[in-house]
Structure formats: structure tokens, C-alpha cells
Chain A
């Protein structure tokens, strides 16, 4: 048995995904290297990272099972059931799959819940979860800035800020920030293109052209 490899490899997956609970539901966020929140059922979404094929097939199966479960149950499925279905597939096929998922949803029994399902198929319920290669840059940020009981807007701004910070530093994450807010009222999807995000360290205000800079008030124009 090959025991040497992998014990210390923190598996990078080309994206940043985040799930956060707040005082009325959950907010899921991701960069645009994934397709963000993939719909599992009306009130439960999943963020995918890792192998695109693996995460898609797992999500597809779970959506299929959840649909049948909803019919049989006669009401909306719970986020816990969705998360456990994902866990079953991830755990029982751990040798073949390479996908880390974050499930977030709202149901009338438990309110907003976030479940992380990393490689291997461990299921872990948390107040917030981060995943993907960009998440490495966010552990410190969350340790310092996360707090329990945020409002919906605070939570969403927090997620946008976090994904944006990850994009700034992770080569494999990029583009735009997408969020999905799930609560008792339903689901809201939002989209934040890069130019709407705040600038971080060493990032400059984007311009149309050097010529604009030159033509504007120009002390020492070529010293740029």
C-alpha cells in the first residue's frame, strides 16, 4: 500500500467557495470558476469544488434522489437530508471521487444550516464553511472577522468581501462573485462583477487606457 503520498497534501481545488449562517438563514458564495450554488431543491443549494465532473455527477444524483424524497415526504426536503445524501456518495466512493462540497439551506425545522463535506466524505455541520484552493487565504480572515448572529446584509457583504480577498491572492480563483441567500422567504441570487468590488493591497483603480491618465492632470505623466 502506498502510504507515503498525500498525508500532507492539502488538496487544492481551483476555486473559492463559502457558506455562512446568519440570524435568519444562510448565504452561499463563490467565485466564477465554479457555477456557484447549484440548485438541489428549492431551499437547498450546494457549492462545488474540485473535479468539475465529480462534483457535477454527485450533485445530479442528489438532486434526483431529493426530488423523489420530496414527493414521498409530501413537503420540502431538509438541508440535513441533502447533506447526508451527498455524504453517502462521497464516502462510499471515496477512492474515485475528488470533490469538496458545501451544502447550505433553510428548512422550517432547523432554520439555516451549513454542512461541509470535504474529501473522504466526512460530514460536519458548522456556523460557516470555506473550501476550494482560495480558502487557504481565508482561514486567518475568518478567524479574526467572523461573528455569530449577523444580519442578512452583513452576512452577504462579509461573504463578498471574503471571496474577493481570495480572488485577489489565489491564481485559481477569479472573475466575479456570486452569492445565494436562502431563508424562510425564499432564495435570492446576486452577482458582483469585479469592478464593483473594493480594491485590496497593491491593486490599482482600473482605467480605460494610459491615454486617459496622460490626458488628465499630468505632473510627470510618464512616471507611471
Chain B
């Protein structure tokens, strides 16, 4: 067993760290989550992979879960921390229901709660190692927000985590528009997920798409996307460089 002696340099401003713990690195991680607003609500997509470093270890992890009646939470990052967040939210929703006052927590409130949790943990140098996407519809109002492990949070018409920010958002910036139909929204998300499949090594070809509308949350069954590899340049890559391979 390795002894990680946490030694402070002489000029450190940190106080005594005898009992403090900090999460240093994640173990089982999920990759990108992509989401967008459409005509009737929110569509969100995430693959079902749980990577363990470079190994694609678990391939049936559900990274999107309904929260209460009005919200859907998708997460990337450390899966154990996501499971813990789900427990916190369970408790939050339970207490909310116990008031039995006809009101229920909407997506904006849940997003705010998550932001506080993530930011406070970050301040204690013990973050929940996740990037979260929170979407929902309440009283006709669509809401889509995101929070990162350091507490950065914002809302937008389309959001993504991890690699999705670099590969999916540009596509969404070009092709998203107000009042997308369900079919167009799904096709757009699939376009993003396919690019991630080609280019993100942690992506796994088994995904789910979830929709949330005023009527509630539905998460699709797991399915796989077709990919195309028959580019002539792939078949004969050394064409432009005779003698190489």
C-alpha cells in the first residue's frame, strides 16, 4: 500500500491538515452529457459508460435520473459521487413532499440546491467530482442548467459537460433553434453523440435519450448508434505516400 505523506512546503499558508480529507482524483467516471431545450421541454442524452481510468469497465450505468416530478439530472464524472448526490436529492424531495402543501420543488430550485452543495464542497477542498446537467419543466416554463465540480453554474438553451463542450456545443450553436420538434431534437442530439463516439475515447456505444415535459420524465431504453468507417482514405491511407503503411 502506498503511503501518501501529505507534506506542506515551508511557506504554505494552509493550516494544520491532520484530520482533513480531500478527494484527490476520480475512479469510476462517466463522460459527456448533452442537453437542449425543444418545443415541449428538454431533451438530454448520455451514454451508459463507467470508465475506470482507460478501461471501459461498466457499460450499463444510468447517468440520467428523474428528480421529483419536474426535473431530470444527468451527471458526468465520478459515479459514486453522483450516487451520493441522488441520495441527497432523495432526502430533499422527501422533505418537500412531507410538507404536503401542493407545492413541489421545480428544476430551478433543484439546480440552486445543487449549486450550493457543489460550491460548498469545493470550498472545503473536498469536491463532488461531477459536472451536472439539470433540466425540467414546471408550469409551462422550460429550464436547463448546469453546475460543475467547482460550483460554476449557468443556464442556457443547450448545455453539455466534458468533451461535449468542445465537440457538441459548436454543432448546437449552429443548428439549434427555438421550438425544435421532438424528432429534430433527437436527431440533433444523436448527431452530437455520434461525434462524441468517434472522438471521445471514454465514450461507449450504448446510450439513452431522456425527455422531460410538463407531463413528466421518460428515459428511453438503451440503444446503439450506427457509425460509418468506409471512407476511401481509411481503406487506402497510404495512397498519398507510396511506400509507407
Binding site for B on A (CB under 8 A): 1-3, 5-11, 51, 53-54, 87, 90-91, 94-96, 98, 116, 118-124, 126, 136, 139
Contact = CB atoms under 8 A, between A and B. Distances in A.
B233 interface: no
B195 to A, nearest CB: 23
Contact of B24 (A95, A121, A139): A95
Contact of B27 (A51, A53, A118): A118
B80 A121 contact: yes
Interface residues of B, number: 24
Given A2-B25, A7-B25, 18 more contacts: A3-B24, A6-B53, A8-B53, A10-B53, A87-B80, A91-B80, A91-B84, A94-B27, A95-B21, A98-B1, A118-B27, A120-B26, A121-B80, A122-B27, A122-B50, A122-B79, A123-B80, A124-B61
Contacts of B53: 6-11
B23 A95 contact: yes
A interface SS class: loop
Nearest to A91: B80
Contacts of B176: none
A120 B28 contact: yes
Given A10-B53, A98-B1, A124-B61, A1 B80 contact: no
B62 to A, nearest CB: 10
A80 B140 CA distance: 39
Nearest to A136: B55
B56 to A, nearest CB: 9
A151 to B, nearest CB: 24
Given A91-B80, A98-B1, A122-B79, A6 B25 contact: yes
A82 to B, nearest CB: 17
